[in-house]
Chain A
Amino acid sequence: MTHEVLIIGGGLLGCAAAWHLARAGLAPRLIEARGINAGASGQNAGSLHFQIERRFLEPGASGQGADIVRLNRLAIEEWAGLEEQLSRPLDIHMHGGLMLAESEADLALLASKVARENELGLPTQLLSGAEARDLVPRLAPHVCGAAWLAREGHANPRILADAFAHAARASGAVIETDSRLLDLHRDGHGWQATIEQAGQISTARARHVILATGHWTARIAARMGLNIPLYLAPLMMSVTDRTAPFLPYLIQHVGKRLSMKQTDDGNMVIGGGWASAPQRMADGMPDLDAPPHLVPDNLRANLAVAASVLPCLRGRSLIRSWTGMTCISADQLPVVGQVPAAPGLYIAAGGSMFTLGPLLARMLARSIIERAMPEEIALFSAARFAHLNAFVVPS
């Protein structure tokens, strides 16, 4: 059987792409090796961060980082319309976000960041420490400034992919869980996939294939002889016991790794890009299927950064720390769209895929429906790494 589109991966990106394609009448088929939302889509900390992230400001980061603002502006509108489009509550809160400064050096970085964002049309505002404490009275007295963006916030990563999957099915998509991709190769003008479900092996043909496979993407591509510059980013997050609501905003830090928010249920979720340690296979390569190990020093450091700006956290208890894996591209920007060396094969990965996922899924779907990459995301095209496949004969 030949499908117009076969989507590999039932996370946020795959389910959202399935919905957009199904609404356009393309009846996509989605296969997921485990369950819907079982990977990074459901394990991330749920930040909607639209300011330029700290990782783009770290020493050695590419100067192109500010380009992300172009995507972030579109993502703000995407998130603002999601609950209405999907006709269900999704715990999306866009009440604002603060990126904090604790030192003069932080303040200088923050000021240049805000200037660059404003140039690019993102209405970030620089606040004094006192103004930040007006918004969050419990911020530490030494917090000396903040960048405020009124439409940042957070959403519930545990329910979003389900909502897309539900809507996709209702529009005619076929979604199969516990279905693992064993092999994918070019076949005439399309692709042939070998799929294992409950011990049964079958093949499927498709004109277009979307690899919505998160941190597995580079390895799946490598098996097909394709080089995609995506690198493993094993992370950790933590959650505290519940407390009465006091923090409606997303908190980040310009000088240290931190993201922090309070959920609807009152728990504090703390993360911000602290590394965990992947389990290793016999040959030393990271095991992409096993949960990474917590790194105790990083946990301590992460919580210390959080409590430094929000001292009331010292009175809370940690109830769970967890780990998950995502991936980051060579220039930290998302890698989106058709892989030039493999016509009909589409990818989207490489960083901030919760915040950007709904937008990039729509853009991927448009790439297929319109047979052309939408201009808005041209900067992030997989084509910018086409040179890596100059000497590759795709299998």
Chain B
Amino acid sequence: MIDIAIIGGGPAGQAAARQTLGAGLSTTMIDEQARPGGQILRQPPAAFAVKGWMAGRLYRPLRRLLAQTEADIRLDWRGGTSVAGIERIEDHFRLTLSGAHGGTLLARRVLIAAGCYDMPVAMPGWTLPGVMSAGAVQTLLKSQQVVAGQPIVLLGSHPLLLVLATQLLDAGAEVAAVLMPQTYGRMARAVLPYLAGAIFTPGPLIAAGAAMARLRRAGVPMMMGARPIGFTGDGRLEAVDYAWRGQVQRIAAQAAAVSYGFLPQSDLPRQIGAAVRWARPAGGWETVCDGAMRSSIPGLYVAGETTGVAGADAAMAEGEIAGIAMALDAGVRPPSGMARAQARRARLQPFIDLLRAAADPGEVWPQATPETLLCRCEDISVAQVEATMAQLSPMADASAVKHRCRIGMGLCQGRSCEHALVRRIAAARGCDPDAVTPFRMRFPARPIPIDEIIG
């Protein structure tokens, strides 16, 4: 039995490990990637030297933490491994692992710092090959130095698109346009209340301004108030349709990167029954925790995007808090003090609020048509889901809809479509998504080869 299992090798998990290792606690870190870094510092394969990789100033603290993590021989690193199951047994936890380091792992305390994933957004043509999430396009770029396709159109409400656009330009890609549905005026009104507070963490704001200047210099149309309608093409993406000043416009593209926000990874907290709540602004389920990152399950801690999407700096701060809390709760002394770590996290909040307000897809959500697939694993359309809902009591939960039309019953087990279904049920009922009972998360959190289970 180990003292600490950390699920996720991103900034939160790494920062927590500094504290638990420093306090002398045996610590195992599990991640689906072969190397630590998380999505923000998604590393190239070890045999793959990339000159000037992630050189930006904003990435500097993250790179320093990553170097410390990789150099720390006390850390039991288990890459290429998924956590498929988590259970609490008496006073400890049992994790069921799958992949490179399969088997079970017993730990006295567990930190889930599993990050977030791109919110899939169902709109006409979204399942055409060539239509990708912004995160996927960025991962290909960071880890494999591959441009997903060009010309590429970036679209959605999330300012990450600006960062991605500059990274694509740096890689020499032809960026056809950046389409954001918010008008300048709307975005300005949304962010204004947070601007004064965010001025204490000016880095990301300066970066956003620099990114826009860079796009302008490169001649990339940056269109605020352009509302994406859908994707067309014969067997693969050929063009993106959008509404601009009351007219439908079409722009040719071989690839599209979509970003309306991110969903917290909450499969494991939900599987073990930790309290979650509807995340704002994009949706999905974030894990509830106290000021020391303790979840509602004794001995289970959460940090980073799992607790609500707030970016890598917040993840790093929360991971540090969780690491300190785990050490203190275990009765040993961590290297850093709790109060300072909590203050560091608190300073970030105004910028997080600003970013959330700027990225809010609330009023600019793309419209699905009845034929649009909501569940792409099982090919279930909006019309099928609506027809099923119409036959059920208005109080029916997400599982009741699922059992009748198979939405969410495929390989991804609802990771892709559950948020959209919950939103639809809430809209039909006229209630908050928080009031809708979502799917029940079950073992395994990822599909596992049966061969591997049997052994």
Q: Does B104 contact A (CB under 8 A)?
A: yes
A248→B453 CA distance, assembly (Å):
26
A300→B443 CA distance, assembly (Å):
13
Given contacts A240-B450, A265-B406, A316-B450, A296 and B395 within 8 Å (CB-CB): no
Given contacts A300-B453, A318-B450, A321-B442, A159 and B411 within 8 Å (CB-CB): no
Q: Does A314 contact B (CB under 8 A)?
A: yes
Among A177, A241, A313, which residue has its beta carbon within 8 angstroms of that of B447? A241
A158→B408 CA distance, assembly (Å):
14
A315→B451 CA distance, assembly (Å):
7
A299→B449 CA distance, assembly (Å):
13
Given contacts A35-B400, A178-B393, A241-B411, A318 and B454 within 8 Å (CB-CB): no
B residues near A320, Cβ cutoff 8 Å: 413, 442-444
Q: Does B403 contact A (CB under 8 A)?
A: yes
Within 8 A of B (CB), among A277-294: 291, 293-294
A78→B397 CA distance, assembly (Å):
31
A47→B348 CA distance, assembly (Å):
56
A316→B454 CA distance, assembly (Å):
12
Q: Does B396 contact A (CB under 8 A)?
A: yes
Given contacts A319-B413, A321-B442, A38 and B400 within 8 Å (CB-CB): yes
A162→B403 CA distance, assembly (Å):
11
Q: Does B392 contact A (CB under 8 A)?
A: yes
Q: Convert B360-391 into 0s and 1s, putting 1 for each residue whose CB lies closer than 8 angstroms to a CB of A.
A: 00000000000000000010000000000001
Which of A37, A159, A293, A317 gathers most chain B CB within 10 Å? Answer: A317
Q: How far is the CB of A318 from chain B (nearest CB, A)?
A: 5
Q: How far is the CB of A63 from chain B (nearest CB, A)?
A: 35
B104 and A317 contact, CB distance less than 8 A: no
A317 and B449 contact, CB distance less than 8 A: yes
Within 8 A of B (CB), among A26-55: 35-38, 42
**A315 nearest CB neighbor, chain B only:** B451
Q: Does B440 contact A (CB under 8 A)?
A: yes
B residues near A377, Cβ cutoff 8 Å: none
Q: Does A307 contact B (CB under 8 A)?
A: yes
Report, as a range, how many residues of chain A touch the other chain. Answer: 20 to 34
A316→B393 CA distance, assembly (Å):
36
B residues near A313, Cβ cutoff 8 Å: 450
A residues near B444, Cβ cutoff 8 Å: 318-321
B404 and A162 contact, CB distance less than 8 A: yes
Q: Does B139 contact A (CB under 8 A)?
A: no
B residues near A317, Cβ cutoff 8 Å: 411, 447-450
Q: Does B85 contact A (CB under 8 A)?
A: yes
A42→B404 CA distance, assembly (Å):
10
Q: Convert B424-449 into 0s and 1s, putting 1 for each residue whose CB lies closer than 8 angstroms to a CB of A.
A: 00000000000000001011100111
Given contacts A35-B393, A42-B403, A178-B393, A303 and B454 within 8 Å (CB-CB): yes
**A312 nearest CB neighbor, chain B only:** B450
A300 and B454 contact, CB distance less than 8 A: yes
B residues near A240, Cβ cutoff 8 Å: 450
B residues near A296, Cβ cutoff 8 Å: 85, 87, 94, 96, 104
**B447 nearest CB neighbor, chain A only:** A317
Q: How far is the CB of B345 from chain A (nearest CB, A)?
A: 34
Q: How far is the CB of B220 from chain A (nearest CB, A)?
A: 41
**B392 nearest CB neighbor, chain A only:** A35
B395 and A177 contact, CB distance less than 8 A: yes
B393 and A294 contact, CB distance less than 8 A: no
Q: How far is the CB of A364 from chain B (nearest CB, A)?
A: 25
B443 and A158 contact, CB distance less than 8 A: no
A319 and B85 contact, CB distance less than 8 A: no
A317→B411 CA distance, assembly (Å):
9
A322→B397 CA distance, assembly (Å):
17
Q: Does A304 contact B (CB under 8 A)?
A: yes
A158→B442 CA distance, assembly (Å):
18
A178 and B451 contact, CB distance less than 8 A: no
Among A37, A42, A307, A322, which residue has its beta carbon within 8 angstroms of that of B442? A322
A314 and B450 contact, CB distance less than 8 A: yes
Q: How far is the CB of B28 from chain A (nearest CB, A)?
A: 19
Q: Does B172 contact A (CB under 8 A)?
A: no
- Apart from A296-B104, A303-B450, A317-B447, what 14 extra A-B contacts exist at CB < 8 Å? A36-B393, A158-B404, A159-B404, A177-B396, A265-B406, A296-B87, A296-B94, A299-B443, A299-B453, A303-B454, A314-B451, A318-B448, A318-B453, A319-B447
A interface, CB within 8 angstroms of B: 35-38, 42, 158-159, 162, 177-178, 240-241, 265, 291, 293-294, 296, 299-300, 303-304, 307, 313-322
5 A-B pairs with least C-beta separation = A317-B447, A314-B451, A158-B403, A177-B393, A304-B454
**A and B contact pairs by CB, cutoff 8 A, 29 listed:** A36-B393, A37-B400, A37-B403, A38-B399, A38-B400, A42-B403, A158-B403, A158-B404, A162-B391, A265-B378, A265-B406, A294-B85, A296-B87, A296-B104, A300-B453, A303-B453, A304-B454, A314-B449, A314-B451, A314-B454, A316-B450, A317-B448, A317-B450, A318-B444, A319-B413, A320-B413, A320-B442, A322-B440, A322-B442
